Structure 1
Amino acid sequence: MEVMYFVAAGSTLALIFAFCMFLRVKKQPEGTAEMIHISEAVRKGANAYLKRQYSGVAIFFAVVFVILFGMAIGGYLSFFTPFAFLTGGFFSGLSGFIGMRTATMANSRTAQGASLSLNKGLKVAFSAGSVMGFTVVGLGLLDLSIWFFILNAVFPGDISSITTNMLTFGMGASSMALFARVGGGIFTKAADVGADLVGKVEAGIPEDDPRNPAVIADNVGDNVGDVAGMGADLYESYVGSIVSTGALAVAAGYGMAGVSVPMMIAALGVLASIIGTFFVKTKEGASQKNLLKALRTGTYISAAIIIVASYFVIRILLPDHMGLYGAIISGLVAGVLIGAVTEYFTSDTYKPTQKLADSSETGAATVIISGLSLGMLSTVAPVLIVATSILASYYCAGGAGDFNLGLYGIGLSAVGMLSTLGITLATDAYGPIADNAGGIAEMTHMDANVRERTDALDSLGNTTAATGKGFAIGSAALTALALVASYIDKVKGIEGGFNFDLSITNPIVLVGLLIGGMLPFLFAALTMDAVGIAAQAIVIEVRRQFKSIVGIMEGTTEPDYAACVDMCTRSAQKLMVAPTLVAVIVPIVVGLLIGPAGVVGLLTGNLITGFVLAIMMANAGGAWDNAKKYVEGGAHGGKGSAQHKATVVGDTVGDPFKDTSGPSINILIKLTSMVSIVFAGLIVAFHLL
């Protein structure tokens, strides 16, 4: 019980640090009046989008709350679950909102900082990203602390009842994360694709040129998708890994001490991440390798602190089970390695992306082919890394002797991977801020050296964003695996024990596997198609404005930016409904038709294909983007060349890969697990087969 006071203190520390970083960013000069005007336009568009999104999401949450409350009355759920569903969604959405508000405040300040020095621009963008990172972990630990104290007051000393109730709390966070990721992803990529295809390819004007009507919508999209969406996504992973590991601790017989371990590691991760942020700095004229090293230094120092601190956590709380320390380290190391592999495949510093840029010599088709090949190849190492982490954590925790002990070890590896989320997410959220800063530099015609610096920061941001997505997907796989184990344990505990055959020869399990294996492809198809539909509308609108508004191309008339922002907003809100409902409805329908064994098959198939597909899409998209940046830097004819146009086409295909479908799939595999856990009682009672 005393550990929870430490967790609450960790939450407070994270939120205080986030507030200090917010004040640091706010104190920086905003730049010229023109820069402030553009920044305010982006902020206004982002706020308008989130207001409309949250209005729609509120209806969904109200409907689901009523359903969950009805299930609680019927005895299929705890009465705490409907209310925890609301708090999970609220804190998830709040973390994304705070991060987005900070990012839209920081874009012009980053551009102004870059006018002074590269290090100054990096510092401002990273400080703003830190607000996102530490808000997520702070609110996540706050939500957990509040509910733990409430449940402990209702079930004093009954850790089994506490963890059983807390296990269902992640559904709200998962639902909000999916809305934020899918809706934000459709918005940002519709604007980005539309702006690139008409502006760069057809009209031959530079990226972020103020004459492009979709340029403000593009910058708005960076914030609502890559900041607010990513924040809500990783909030859900963070909370989900902790509560699922706590439930597995009880199943393994570790009691309160076992539940305390992931809580303590998460709280210590806050302190480690704060220390790591002070080591992020660079010098003028730094190469991409130098800039990556600057961000990686902070991350590695945080990881090293956790490696040391975790030893003492296990030594104090579970001294007779030191193998658990190996499980934590396996997850932490796996996270670092996945980041390194993603960096290798997506940064233009390395051969894979350079080779992808070389394929532009023969046109857009070969760029597409090479990018798909790169994305598929890039799945090998992450799969092997996660597989190794699973085996290492399972056997280090004692899985050879007790299955439940091994599952607890896998849960701890997920917690270890996410322990330094504060600084890891800061390096990710930094990316769209730097991207916006580059757009403002271009739109306000700042000196060429400023654009050089913001381009360097933007290119780095592409890599850190891709690395962050790899990290999010890897952590999602481990978290989802822990949730599948928790689902099995929950079903078996219903009404004194529900036994079911989970062998691969059971046709019900096999059918579930097939449906689950198909689900990520269905989901990706719906989200890709949504981006395509929305982007077509933006393309038509940009073409219309170029033809009908006199003076746009001469720069004497300002385009109608608001029309594109509003069009993207309406399209995103409409088109995100179908994929979101698929994620919620399919596991319930499958469970009611073929029972809990079929659900286990569905969750497993969904996890396996979703993990691989998400990595492929995220890495291919990141590589296409940086191949374009590599050509824009002067390779293969530079900007405006035929090779450049070929890489722009590749980038437009990669945009929904890396920023809509790919990152949304990792929420899909967790949300289906959470929905299955929440509806387990109903499925056990009413399934047909």
Structure 2
Amino acid sequence: MAILIGIVLISVSGFVVSLALYRWIVRLPQPSPSLTRISTLIKDGANVFLFREAKYLTRFCLSAALCILLLLPRPLFLDPSIENLYIAAAYLFGTVLSALCAVLGMQAATIANAKTADRARQSLASAFLCSFRGGSVMGIFVVCTSLSGITLLFFFTDDTSYLLAFSFGASSLALFAKAGGGIFTKTADISADLVGKVELGMAEDDYRNPAVIADNVGDNVGDVAGMGSDLFDSYVAALVASLVIALSLDASYAYLVLSYSAVGTFATILMVGSVRLKEGKSVTSALNRSTYGTSLLSLLGFALVTYLLDAPLALLFCTVLGLGVGSVIGIVTNHFTDDTHAPVRRVAASGKKGPAFSVLGGFSYGLLSTFPALVGIALCTLLSYRLAAPLGTGMGFFGVSLSSVGMLSIVGMVVSNDAYGPIVDNARGLAQMSSLGEETLARTDALDSAGNTVKAITKGFAIASAGLAVISLLGAFLAQIGMEAARLGLSAVQILDALSPSFLFGLLVGIGVPAVFSALLIQAVQDNACLMVEEIHHQFETIEGLKEGKAGVLPKYDTCIDLATKAALHRLIPAGLFTILMTLVVGFFGGYVAVSGFIIGNIACGLLLALLMSNTGGLWDNAKKWVEAGNEGGKHSDAHQAAVISDTIGDPFKDTAGPSLNTQITLVTLVSSLFASLFLRYSLF
């Protein structure tokens, strides 16, 4: 009981700090009328998108809750039970908390962007503090909401079905939030670049471009709201997997899991308040110091918790291993996506010979970048399993789950750094559109450049952590199968055989699902961008004086925002439904053995594609920025045109399909675990 109370107190302190940071940003001096006007357009557009998306997702979540009520843990029409109602309520609880993380983070970001641009007129350090604290509002809120929500659920019931339903709620909403935001932002980004940069040679955030405000709106709904829900989902999934496995072994291990998580949360809260930037120092170094500092504090806390709870040292090593591998994967991602390293510069240089060389070079480096990360995840899984396995039956997967908890222990700081990116990106656009001067623009460029680097690293971290979390969830699925089999009175559960027809059937179908899921999202971006390009052309042709920049003539920004919103929401549901329905079809067709293969195939293919698309897109993005900084011929050169085209291809890779695959593979495993009892009872084979 004392442990649970301590965890709740840490969560409450985090909420207080998050609120204090939000109030600090709100109380900063009001920016100039020009900045405020443009910032309000961005904020209103983001709110319109979230409001319309909420209506779509409310209907979906209520329908899903009704299905859960009727079917889980047993069909209501066969065995009426109050348990069905509780599981449906736990699912809705997860969706509500995930939505709260998205909404609060975006509100803070859309206030901080204008104030960051305004403070950039004074100094780089002042602007950095505003943008970082704006991101930290969501970072702290995400981790505290995850931890407190699961702790409260665990306090009232230790039934694993409720925990899995809660995680399923977080995952289903995160999938649609990330996919919907990704479709919106890349629809606007691609359209603005193709017409503004490639056709007309306009600057990045030229006010004449009708899609420029929609592009800035997309940064918030995709990279702030979407990523907040995404990492909330990964963190919850890792905790739930560990708790499910722990409860199948020994309930005392559940307190160890929650304590490790609380340590990471407390370390994040301490570090957020200490982050500063000294004038003349590197912004990227300041952000990296915050991450490494949080990791070090977490490491010390893990050791203390292990000692106080008298837990086996092997479990501490598993947790530390996950934390270390997460950092290494971030460093590898940085090598392939940062413009200070050879891959980005070589791709930028190859663009002088034509766009095809830029595309081929970036794609080949993207393929190379997947290998170190996959090896890191594989080694972490193998070593943590081997470390914990001697402690008893079932402890191997518990060790893997603890490594995912260790990796995600610093998720609060990761989210803070990730949300910082869109804030400074918006600030840079606001500075350009409000003509704040070259010095201010140079400062926001420095902030934005660091944001792009850190954003690429956080995406690599998010994918790696999702990979470990779903491997842990595979262990939770098998534990759930064992518990359900015992409850049904089955003497034994068939041992998984990698050569059985059912397993191979599930494996091959599982490999195909991430590819189809990605295709649906990329096609949505392509189709919607075509519509927006037509709208931009229409405005340039019909609004007299717009292309020439005549004083007082402005484009119809709202039309582009409305078009991107409707198009994104129209294509939002099919990809998510496809994932859920395929899992159920495989389960009821081939049983739990087929589902096990399906999960493994989905994890393997999903991780590969997610890493490939996120890293390739990040590399192309920074290659473009390297050229725009004056290298390889600078703006309007052949290398620049090739870089813009490559970046346009990479946009839906890195900001729509790639990050959404994190949640897709988590969702598959959670659906499988929730429906485990039904797969045991009812399947064709």
Which of 666, 685, 688 is matched with 2:681 structurally? 685
Counterpart-to-counterpart distance in 2, 1:409 and 1:627: 40
Instruction: Please list, as runs of the form range in 1=range in 2, the aligned pairs for 1:99-110 lying within 5 A after superposition.
Output: 99-110=105-116
Which of 256, 262, 267 is matched with 2:257 structurally? 262
Do 2:151 and 2:258's aligned partners in 1 also have CA atoms closer than 8 Å? no
Tell whether 2:538 aligns with 1:544.
yes
> In the alignment, what sits opposite 1:217?
214
Which of 80, 87, 90 is matched with 2:93 structurally? 87
SS of residue matched to 1:559: coil
> In the alignment, what sits opposite 2:452?
462
164 and 70 in structure 1: CA distance in 2 versus 1, 3 angstrom threshold: closer
CA offsets 1:26-64 (integer angstroms, 9 cap, x no match): 122342101000000000000000000000000001111
> In the alignment, what sits opposite 2:309?
317
Tell whether 2:489 aligns with 1:496.
yes
> In the alignment, what sits opposite 2:283?
291
SS of residue matched to 2:394: helix
Do 1:258 and 1:317's aligned partners in 2 also have CA atoms closer than 8 Å? no
Tell whether 2:337 aligns with 1:346.
yes
Tell whether 2:295 aligns with 1:303.
yes
Q: What percent identity do the matched residue pairs reach?
A: 39
Counterpart-to-counterpart distance in 1, 2:537 and 2:199: 9
Q: How many residue pairs are counted as aligned between the two chains?
A: 673
CA offsets 1:399-432 (integer angstroms, 9 cap, x no match): 1464511111100000000111111110111001
Tell whether 2:268 aligns with 1:276.
no
Instruction: Please list, as runs of the form range in 1=range in 2, the aligned pairs for 1:189-268 lying within 5 A after superposition.
Output: 189-251=186-248, 253-255=249-251, 257-268=252-263
Unaligned runs of 5+ in 1: 152-160
Q: Deviation of residue 619 (structure 1)? A: 0.6
> In the alignment, what sits opposite 1:154?
none
Tell whether 2:185 aligns with 1:188.
yes
Tell whether 2:645 aligns with 1:645.
no
> In the alignment, what sits opposite 1:395?
386
More divergent stretch after superposition (668-677 vs 307-316): 307-316
Counterpart-to-counterpart distance in 1, 2:244 and 2:310: 16
Do 2:19 and 2:137's aligned partners in 1 also have CA atoms closer than 8 Å? yes
Tell whether 2:415 aligns with 1:419.
no
Q: Deviation of residue 315 (structure 1)? A: 1.8
SS of residue matched to 2:547: coil
CA offsets 1:579-615 (integer angstroms, 9 cap, x no match): 1111211101110111110001000000011111101
Counterpart-to-counterpart distance in 2, 1:482 and 1:366: 40
CA offsets 1:621-645 (integer angstroms, 9 cap, x no match): 1111111111010001111222111
SS of residue matched to 1:504: coil
Tell whether 2:580 aligns with 1:588.
no
Counterpart-to-counterpart distance in 2, 1:179 and 1:23: 30
Amino acid at match of 1:639: K
Counterpart-to-counterpart distance in 2, 1:594 and 1:675: 15
SS of residue matched to 1:12: helix
Instruction: Please list, as runs of the form range in 1=range in 2, the aligned pairs for 1:145-164 lying within 5 A after superposition.
Output: 145-151=151-157, 161-164=158-161
SS of residue matched to 2:397: helix
Do 1:174 and 1:233's aligned partners in 2 also have CA atoms closer than 8 Å? yes
134 and 303 in structure 1: CA distance in 2 versus 1, 3 angstrom threshold: same
Do 1:279 and 1:294's aligned partners in 2 also have CA atoms closer than 8 Å? no
Structure-1-length-normalised TM-score:
0.96
Instruction: Please list, as runs of the form range in 1=range in 2, the aligned pairs for 1:112-131 lying within 5 A after superposition.
Output: 112-131=118-137
Do 2:362 and 2:620's aligned partners in 1 also have CA atoms closer than 8 Å? yes
Do 1:13 and 1:270's aligned partners in 2 also have CA atoms closer than 8 Å? no
CA offsets 1:322-371 (integer angstroms, 9 cap, x no match): 11110000000011111111111111111111111111111111111111
> In the alignment, what sits opposite 1:516?
510
Tell whether 2:75 aligns with 1:68.
no
Q: Deviation of residue 454 (structure 1)? A: 1.0
SS of residue matched to 2:632: helix
> In the alignment, what sits opposite 1:657?
653
SS of residue matched to 1:168: helix
137 and 34 in structure 1: CA distance in 2 versus 1, 3 angstrom threshold: same
Counterpart-to-counterpart distance in 1, 2:443 and 2:233: 34
Structure-2-length-normalised TM-score:
0.96
Amino acid at match of 1:372: F
Across the aligned residues of Structure 1 and Structure 2, the Cα RMSD in angstroms comes to: 1.4
Q: Deviation of residue 460 (structure 1)? A: 1.2
Which of 651, 672, 681 is matched with 1:676 structurally? 672
Do 2:183 and 2:568's aligned partners in 1 also have CA atoms closer than 8 Å? yes
Do 2:124 and 2:443's aligned partners in 1 also have CA atoms closer than 8 Å? yes
Q: Deviation of residue 278 (structure 1)? A: 3.8
Unaligned runs of 5+ in 2: none
Q: Deviation of residue 673 (structure 1)? A: 0.7
Do 2:369 and 2:612's aligned partners in 1 also have CA atoms closer than 8 Å? yes
Tell whether 2:471 aligns with 1:472.
no
Do 1:258 and 1:318's aligned partners in 2 also have CA atoms closer than 8 Å? no
CA offsets 1:141-188 (integer angstroms, 9 cap, x no match): 22113222322xxxxxxxxx4344323321110010001000000000
Tell whether 2:172 aligns with 1:171.
no
Counterpart-to-counterpart distance in 1, 2:164 and 2:59: 24
Counterpart-to-counterpart distance in 2, 1:57 and 1:409: 35
Q: Deviation of residue 233 (structure 1)? A: 0.6
Tell whether 2:566 aligns with 1:570.
yes
Do 2:198 and 2:644's aligned partners in 1 also have CA atoms closer than 8 Å? yes
> In the alignment, what sits opposite 2:350?
359
Amino acid at match of 1:507: P
Which of 462, 473, 483 is matched with 1:483 structurally? 473
Q: Deviation of residue 554 (structure 1)? A: 2.5
> In the alignment, what sits opposite 1:27?
27
Do 1:279 and 1:297's aligned partners in 2 also have CA atoms closer than 8 Å? no
Do 1:216 and 1:565's aligned partners in 2 also have CA atoms closer than 8 Å? yes
Counterpart-to-counterpart distance in 1, 2:515 and 2:449: 29
Do 1:111 and 1:438's aligned partners in 2 also have CA atoms closer than 8 Å? yes
Do 2:214 and 2:564's aligned partners in 1 also have CA atoms closer than 8 Å? yes
Amino acid at match of 1:341: V
Tell whether 2:325 aligns with 1:331.
no
Counterpart-to-counterpart distance in 1, 2:478 and 2:265: 32
Counterpart-to-counterpart distance in 2, 1:283 and 1:307: 27
Do 2:87 and 2:161's aligned partners in 1 also have CA atoms closer than 8 Å? no
> In the alignment, what sits opposite 1:505?
499
Counterpart-to-counterpart distance in 2, 1:343 and 1:201: 28
Amino acid at match of 1:496: G
Q: Deviation of residue 291 (structure 1)? A: 1.9
